[in-house]
């Protein structure tokens, strides 16, 4: 049984601060924001990672980028730009085993993607 936090939000078992929702995706604010605007674009269908997507899911996966554009406009950060990140696996720093795309913006982001501690 799949019990990650995003599936619990989809089932209504956990509250979430949704800023966008359609039949395939929802978007919430990250609980530990790394930028003035830090959102998570989450498919409602459970995919653990990119490796779970099949060719038949390509349209659904591509739609995530259209959702990113819509949400960036809605949040007023579209004109100055934003960054999208997918963290995969241990080296990628993935925390929730349900594919999601980070959308960060609201300030000029640094050249580095994350703080380096080495
Ligand atoms: Zn899930």
Of 92, 95, 90, 91, whose CA–CA distance to 40 is shortest? 95
Q: In 33-68, which positions are buried (b, 16+ CB within 10 angstroms) versus exposed (e)?
A: eebebbbbbbbeeebeeeeeeeeeeeebeeebeebb
Tokens of 19: 């800023």
Q: How far is the CA of 96 from the centre of ligand 1 (A)?
A: 8
- Residues with Cβ–ion distance below 5 A, ligand 1: 2, 4, 6-7, 46, 98
Instruction: Write out the catalytic residue numbers.
Output: 100
What domains appear along the chain, each with residue ranges and CATH number?
Answer: 5-105 (3.30.428.10)
Q: Give the pLDDT of the chain (118 residues) as one tens digit per residue.
A: 678 999 999 999 999 889 999 999 999 999 999 999 999 999 999 999 999 999 999 999 999 999 999 999 999 999 999 999 999 988 888 889 999 999 999 999 988 765 555 5
Q: How far is the CA of 2 from the centre of ligand 1 (A)?
A: 6
Q: What is the pTM of this model?
A: 0.91
Give strand pairing partners of 42.
26
Q: Is the distance from CB of 41 to CB of 100 less than 8 angstroms?
A: yes
Q: How far is the CA of 103 from the centre of ligand 1 (A)?
A: 19
């Amino acid at each position: 049984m799949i019990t990650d936090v995003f599936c619990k939000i989809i089932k209504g078992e956990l509250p979430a601060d949704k800023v966008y929702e359609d039949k395939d995706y929802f978007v919430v604010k990250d609980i530990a924001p790394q930028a003035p605007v830090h959102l998570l674009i989450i498919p409602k269908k459970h995919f653990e990672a990119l490796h779970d997507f099949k060719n038949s899911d390509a349209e659904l996966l591509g739609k995530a980028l259209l959702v990113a554009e819509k949400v960036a406009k809605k949040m007023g950060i579209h004109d100055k730009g934003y960054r999208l990140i997918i963290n995969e696996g241990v080296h990628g720093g993935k925390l929730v085993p349900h594919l999601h795309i980070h959308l960060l913006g609201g300030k000029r982001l640094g050249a580095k993607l994350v703080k380096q501690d080495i």
